[in-house]
């Protein structure tokens, strides 16, 4: 008596740009009559790749040439994607009609996109860590803890940019580390915060004090010369009028 067997669906996560193999139910190929792959990419049309054992005929209407049999279908029922792209994310179902029943196995293909991480200084003891255009969205952590704000910016292709901005009031924090957690690999970057130490602040105040004193002295000298010149001019004018 023929049976129908559905194997548990699996989730397959693969990095963009790599190759992936998807398997069918474990049915001996000697018993397989028809092997059919039904491909349902997210946001794209459904396509089918099929093989009929008795006539050794293959049929397919998939236009993406990166999706093929891993070998000849009489030797292997596996499907391969030679170079995984974002548009390949979706559901892949293998159905085998065999002499002893019907078997099915599905794969939910998740495409992972590596991200680019940057870390740079902002203003007033602030650092910005950015995980650019990754999939799924990255998580960002800091050490030591600061006053942080994290924002996510989704893009039309399904990738996400995550930006975390942190501020440290404590003057004793000199080096901060940004940890980025992601499915394609974790990253960490460190950066030195600009510091204003008590000594340098004291030196700055001293320089300002000296400059202000010098400016006061210069203004006093200029003022003294100006008034002296006015007095001499008045004396000269007074002496001239007596002579007349």
Condensed to tens digits (0 to 9), the pLDDT of residues 139-187 reads 999 999 999 999 999 999 999 999 999 999 988 899 999 999 999 999 9
Question: Which of 24-28, 34-38, 156-160, 191-195 has maximum average pLDDT?
Answer: 34-38
Here the tokens at position 216 are: 């006061």
Q: Which of 33, 118, 42, 109 is nearest to 77 (CA)?
A: 33
Q: What is the pLDDT of residue 34?
A: 97
Average pLDDT in the chain: 87
Q: For 152, phi and psi rounded to 5 degrees?
A: -115, 135
Superfamily designation of domain 3-112: Immunoglobulins (2.60.40.10)
Q: pLDDT class for 238, splitting at 50, 70, 90?
A: low
Dihedral in degrees, nearest 10, Cα atoms 44, 8, 135, 69: -50
CATH level 3 topology of 116-192: Immunoglobulin-like (2.60.40)
How confident is the model over 128-141, as a mean pLDDT? 97
Burial class (CB in 10 A: 0-12, 13-18, 19+), 60: middle
Distance CA 127, CA 28 (A): 59
Give every CB contact of residue 69 below 8 A, 6+ residues apart in sequence: 49, 51, 58, 76, 78, 79, 80
Q: What is the pLDDT of residue 35?
A: 98
How confident is the model over 10-27, as a mean pLDDT? 96
7 alpha carbon, distance to own chain's centre: 36
4 pLDDT higher than 60: yes
Here the tokens at position 61 are: 């209407």
Q: What is the pLDDT of residue 241?
A: 47
pLDDT in tens, 52-73: 999 999 999 999 999 999 999 9
Distance CA 169, CA 161 (A): 27
Distance CA 36, CA 27 (A): 13
pLDDT in tens, 196-215: 444 445 555 666 766 777 77
């Amino acid at each position: 008596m023929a049976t129908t067997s559905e194997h548990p669906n699996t989730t397959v996560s693969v990095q963009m740009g790599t190759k992936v193999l998807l398997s069918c139910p474990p049915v001996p190929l000697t018993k397989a009559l028809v092997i059919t792959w039904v491909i349902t990419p997210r946001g794209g049309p459904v396509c089918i790749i099929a093989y009929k054992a008795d006539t050794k005929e293959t049929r397919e209407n998939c236009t993406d040439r990166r999706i093929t049999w891993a070998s000849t279908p009489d030797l292997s029922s596996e499907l391969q994607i030679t170079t995984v792209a974002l548009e390949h994310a979706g559901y892949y179902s293998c159905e085998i009609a065999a002499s002893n029943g019907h078997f099915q196995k599905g794969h939910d293909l998740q495409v992972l996109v590596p991200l680019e991480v940057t870390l740079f200084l902002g203003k007033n003891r602030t650092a910005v860590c950015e995980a650019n255009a990754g999939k799924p969205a990255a998580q960002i952590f800091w050490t030591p803890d600061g006053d942080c704000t994290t924002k996510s910016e989704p893009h039309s292709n399904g990738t996400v940019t995550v930006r975390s901005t942190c501020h440290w009031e404590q003057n004793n924090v000199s080096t901060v580390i940004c940890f980025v957690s992601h499915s394609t690999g974790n990253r960490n970057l460190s950066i030195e915060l600009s510091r204003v130490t008590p000594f340098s602040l004291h030196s700055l105040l001293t320089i300002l004090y000296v400059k202000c004193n010098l400016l006061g002295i210069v203004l006093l000298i200029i003022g003294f010369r100006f008034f002296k010149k006015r007095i001499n001019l008045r004396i000269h004018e007074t002496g001239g009028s007596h002579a007349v």
